[in-house]
Structure 1
Amino acid sequence: MKMCIVYWSGTGNTEAMANLICEGAVSTGADVTLKEVSSASAADIEGADVAVFGCPSMGDEILEEDEFEPFMSSVTGLLDGKKVGLFGSYDWGDGEWMRTWESDVKKAGAHLLKEGLIVNLTPEGDDVEKCRSFGKDIAGM
């Protein structure tokens, strides 16, 4: 199973989540490609059995607007029938950005494998295992 994890991280929190999710998926034997959004392409998504996207909540609970949101818009047409996972960190709010994002990928025809994983700030304590388990679970679906 090929998995591609594409993320954007401003402070390192979502990057830490991406690395932990990758660890979890690799531990199951999955073939995982981990990319920052600036080096990702549509071909990465097309070539993956599962696409996992990570972006923190920004501003008024939205996706990062300069790199990540444009990338998501560019690959939306590739999501029909694709298995997808979503994750990200937040500092405040109630997770509205994740609910909106989940709705958007479902409207694009994606098969959302799990509820989006959100972590307040840096993944520590129980959140570390939640991230690894997220990767394991998605790799096993």
Structure 2
Amino acid sequence: MKNIVVIYWSGTGNTEMMAQSVAEGAKVNGDQVELLSVEEATSEDVISADLVALGCPSMGAENLEEAFMQPFVDSLEEVDFDNKPVVLFGSYDWGDGEWMQDFEDQMKEYGASLVTEGLIVNLTPEEDDLIKCKELGEQLASA
């Protein structure tokens, strides 16, 4: 049985909805899935997981949230990812997804193996967006 962790930050609830759907999809094979807000997560949660999902909306000028998520992601530089499978997701209001590309680049730099491109959703996730989130979780579980 794989240990999967889904860690997210959400200001309006949009990315939290996405995280819940990713976690639901990740349970497809009966694996252990833990859903954590970044405020309660530690790098140890990432170290001990076999598979990792990280979610954060675009903030400000297409950045990760700066008080909790960016410091958490920065702390992962010390983690030996050794090609650990990771998926990324988040919501946004405007822009073209530059924050997700930066997020992907940072995680690749740390040695994470991105299972697929980061999943981005404009504003509040619709039903079809939540289905895509669930499918993202299924992809992660099958990695």
The root-mean-square deviation of aligned C-alpha atoms, in Å, is 1.0
**Match of residue 132 from structure 1:** 134
Q: Secondary structure at the match of 2:39?
A: helix
SS in 2 for 1:87: strand
SS state of the match for residue 84, structure 1?
strand
TM-superposed CA distance for 1:27, in Å, is: 2.7
Deviation at 1:51, TM superposition (A): 1.3
Residues 1:83 and 2:100 aligned together: no
TM-score, normalised with respect to structure 1: 0.96
Question: Helix, strand or coil for the counterpart of 2:12?
Answer: coil
Equivalent position amino acid for 1:90 in 2: Y
User: How many residues end up aligned between the 2 structures?
Assistant: 141
Aligned 8 A contact 1:79 1:105 in 2: no
Q: Among 114, 117, 120, which residue is 1:118 paired with?
A: 120
Measured after TM superposition, the shift of residue 75 of structure 1 is 1.6
Find the counterpart in structure 2 of residue 106 from structure 1: 108
So what's the TM-score if we normalise by structure 2? 0.95
Instruction: State the shift of 1:122 in Å.
Output: 1.4
How big is each residue's C-alpha offset from its partner over 1:20-56, in whole Å with a ceiling of 9 and x where there is no partner? 0111111331211100000001111111001111000
What fraction of aligned residue pairs are identical, expressed as a percent?
50
Quote how far apart the aligned CAs of 1:79 are: 4.8
* Residues 50-94 of structure 1: per-residue CA shift (max 9 Å, x gap): 111100000000000001100111122215322211100001110
Partner of 1:17: 18
Instruction: Structure 1 unaligned segments of length 5 or more: list them.
Output: none
Rounded to whole Å, the distance in 2 between the matches of 1:32 and 1:112 is 18
SS in 2 for 1:9: coil
Amino acid in the other structure paired with 2:127: G
CA distance in 2, matches of 1:19, 1:28: 16
